[in-house]
Amino acid sequence: MKRFEELLHKGYAQSFEISTVLFHEKTEHQDLVIFETPTFGRVMALDNIVQVTTRDEYVYHEMMTHVPLFAKGDATDVLIIGGGDGGILREVLRHGSVKNATMVELDRSVVDLSVKHLPEISAGAFDDPRTDLIITDGVKFVAETDKRFDVIIVDSTDPVGPGEVLFTESFYADCHRCLKDGGVLVTQNGVPFFQGDEVTNTYRRMGKSFSDNGFYTAVVPTYVGGFMTLGWGTDDAGLRDIDAEVLRTRFQQANIKTRYYTPDLHKAAFALPQFILDLMN
């Protein structure tokens, strides 16, 4: 029996039974493998770290997207850094207010292979006329672009290899520059039970640029270790405390069918366990 073993966390591993390997090759930027499993459907891993599965991708993609977009309520321009599988893009485009979704992905192979082998994740989002796909370094893009965005979503790998530069103080500062007044930055920020330093470092670094920053949580089964933290940065402190009834109204008007996100869960996600609060002090 073939198995894939992920060794992201020291002294701890998770493994997947492999039914079929659909693709495995070292791209220009990273080692990429896509395989079929009996439990989690199709899985994509980069540099031996699981990025997405067709079984539970909706948890991560819905919470990364709908929390900032429903908090804003009227976002028209959204920037996605990373997210080559297209799941974040899919959810962004479900918001009728969005007129333009700019997606900046470093590795074209991730996009092409996801469309080929994981088509249900992007669900045609790359063909939407509102999509502007740019293949370049996200750090370079936010440092140089003249565009301004209501929401920036950083769907990055962990801070090792190509993803490391997306966790720096200078990157957060450039994202702040790219936001419209009252805009929101949301970032992938690891599993704090195993990756506590990521919470501490991001909180300190993001705080240099944003007057209101912190985290909210989601539980994604394949990102093992319990709660996952999603970074939050804005200069509008009221956005993390939108009234639940307002969120419900926006959600109903958007007429978006979700599998994980709800307005009440949105509110609750900002209530952090003490061990995460301790990592922020």
Q: Please indicate whether residue 212 is annotated as part of the active site.
A: no
Q: Which of 38, 127, 46, 37 is nearest to 83 (CA)?
A: 46
Residue 156 near residue 125, CB atoms below 8 Å: no
> Phi and psi (nearest 5°) for 211?
-75, -25
Residue 174 near residue 139, CB atoms below 8 Å: yes
- Tokens 């539980």 sit on residue: 219
**In the sheet that 77-82 helps form, which strands lie side by side, from edge to edge?**
131-135, 100-105, 77-82, 149-155, 179-188, 228-234, 212-218
**CA–CA separation, 27 vs 57, rounded Å?**
23
Residue 87 near residue 121, CB atoms below 8 Å: yes
Pick the catalytic residue from 47, 107, 155, 174. Answer: 155
Catalytic residues: 155
